[in-house]
């Protein structure tokens, strides 16, 4: 059985973790590489870096972070934030990223999805979609960190991303993000019904049961940032809840 993926996300700015808990085992809580190593050891199925600095000066710091992480952590690594071109993607992939997540730049230029997929394969291209309820039963795509509305229907955009060659959708509910009220399950179900791609749910996790709810709504990957950052939940608790609900997981620390 294909296991559900539990994916911690690290917000990185100028090479440092923006918010992070000071785990006892960490020498430097602000070092994304150290954080990624802890998550790996705890059984994370992938790690995502979101570069929220994304200024030109900051770009090289994320390359260094990715490179140092990839030398120590042998699980898939997704990197997003400020990716605007195939050349940006290439530099991140060469540094050791496995998947590149694009958001605002894909909305501005949907052909970027296709160009990325043709250059590196669909498996390397994640389209990240920030969606907010439109009050009429649908969802609108927002860009620029959720600040800018686009008038684009989120479900339609996910379908278009699939047709253009994306290998995965990372779907964030702007309504739920930061609320700890759980994923937007209606949004997940609507996108699940519209695309066949792997679907990563994001935004709203507050307790372990939310991972179960997200999986049952059709997500194949479950991403959370702050509950893991602040140590309110460990990766193992999320997996234990999934397993207790009869859902497939990769057991912690498969030693060989």
Partner 1 sequence: MKIAIVDPGSGNLASVLRALERVIAESGRQAQAVVTTDAAEVRDADRIVLPGQGAFAACRRGLDALPGMVDALQDAVIESGKPFLGICVGMQLMAERGLEHGTTPGLGWIRGEIAPMDPRGPDGAALPLPQMGWNGLELAQPSHPLLEGLRPGLHAYFVHSYALAGGDPAQLLASTTYGGPVAAIVGRDNMAGTQFHVEKSSLVGLRILANFLRWKPETAA
Q: Which residues bind partner 1 (CB under 8 A)?
A: 1-5, 40, 45, 70-71, 74-76, 93-98, 120-124, 167-168, 196-199, 220-221, 250-251, 253-256
Look at strands 99-102 and 221-224 and give their pairing: unpaired
User: Dihedrals φ, ψ of 23, to 5°?
Assistant: -55, 145
Considering the complex, state which of residue 56 and residue 196 has its C-beta at the smaller distance from partner 1.
Answer: 196
Minimal distance in Å, beta carbon 253 to partner 1? 8
Minimal distance in Å, beta carbon 75 to partner 1? 5
Taking alpha carbons only, the member of 48, 35, 177, 40 closest to residue 101 is 48
Minimal distance in Å, beta carbon 179 to partner 1? 27
Considering the complex, state which of residue 44 and residue 174 has its C-beta at the smaller distance from partner 1.
Answer: 44
Minimal distance in Å, beta carbon 200 to partner 1? 10
Yes or no: say if 45 and 77 are a contact pair by the CB < 8 Å rule: no
Considering the complex, state which of residue 96 and residue 138 has its C-beta at the smaller distance from partner 1.
Answer: 96
Rounded distance, CA 21 to CA 154, Å?
A: 33
Taking alpha carbons only, the member of 36, 154, 35, 172 closest to residue 101 is 172
Q: Which one of 51, 130, 184, 213 is the catalytic residue?
A: 130
Residue 130 appears among annotated catalytic residues: yes
HSE at residue 72, side-chain half, CA atoms within 13 A, is: 16
Q: Which one of 11, 88, 98, 184 is the catalytic residue?
A: 11
- Give the list of residues 6+ apart from residue 74 with CB closer than 8 angstroms, or none: 40
Considering the complex, state which of residue 93 and residue 190 has its C-beta at the smaller distance from partner 1.
Answer: 93
Minimal distance in Å, beta carbon 38 to partner 1? 14
Q: For 103-158, give the DSSP string.
A: SHHHHH-THHHHHHHHHH-GGGEEEEEEEEE-SSSSEEEEETTTTEEEEEEHHHHH
Considering the complex, state which of residue 4 and residue 223 has its C-beta at the smaller distance from partner 1.
Answer: 4
Residue 28 appears among annotated catalytic residues: no
Which residues are identified as catalytic? 11, 130
């Amino acid at each position: 059985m294909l296991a559900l993926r539990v994916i911690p996300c690290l917000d990185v700015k100028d090479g440092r973790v923006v918010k992070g808990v000071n785990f006892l085992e960490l020498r430097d809580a602000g070092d994304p590489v150290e954080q990624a190593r802890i998550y790996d050891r705890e059984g994370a199925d992938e790690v995502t870096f979101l570069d929220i600095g994304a200024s030109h000066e900051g770009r090289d710091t994320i390359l260094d972070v990715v490179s140092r992480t990839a030398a120590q952590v042998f699980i898939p690594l997704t990197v997003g934030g400020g990716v605007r071109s195939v050349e940006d993607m290439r530099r991140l992939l060469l540094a050791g990223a496995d998947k590149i997540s694009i958001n605002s730049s894909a909305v501005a230029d949907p052909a970027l999805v296709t160009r990325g997929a043709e250059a590196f394969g669909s498996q390397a291209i994640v389209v990240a979609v920030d969606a907010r309820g439109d009050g009429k039963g649908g969802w609108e795509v927002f860009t620029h960190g959720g600040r800018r509305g686009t008038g684009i229907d989120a479900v339609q955009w996910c379908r278009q991303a699939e047709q253009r060659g994306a290998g995965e959708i990372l779907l964030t509910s702007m309504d739920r993000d930061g609320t700890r009220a759980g994923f937007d399950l209606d949004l997940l179900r609507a996108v699940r019904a519209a695309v066949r791609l792997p679907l990563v749910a994001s935004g709203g996790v507050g307790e372990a049961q939310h991972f179960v709810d997200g999986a049952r709504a059709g997500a194949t990957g479950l991403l959370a940032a702050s509950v893991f950052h602040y140590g309110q939940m460990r990766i193992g608790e999320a997996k234990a809840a999934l397993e207790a609900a009869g859902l497939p997981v990769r057991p912690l620390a498969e030693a060989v």
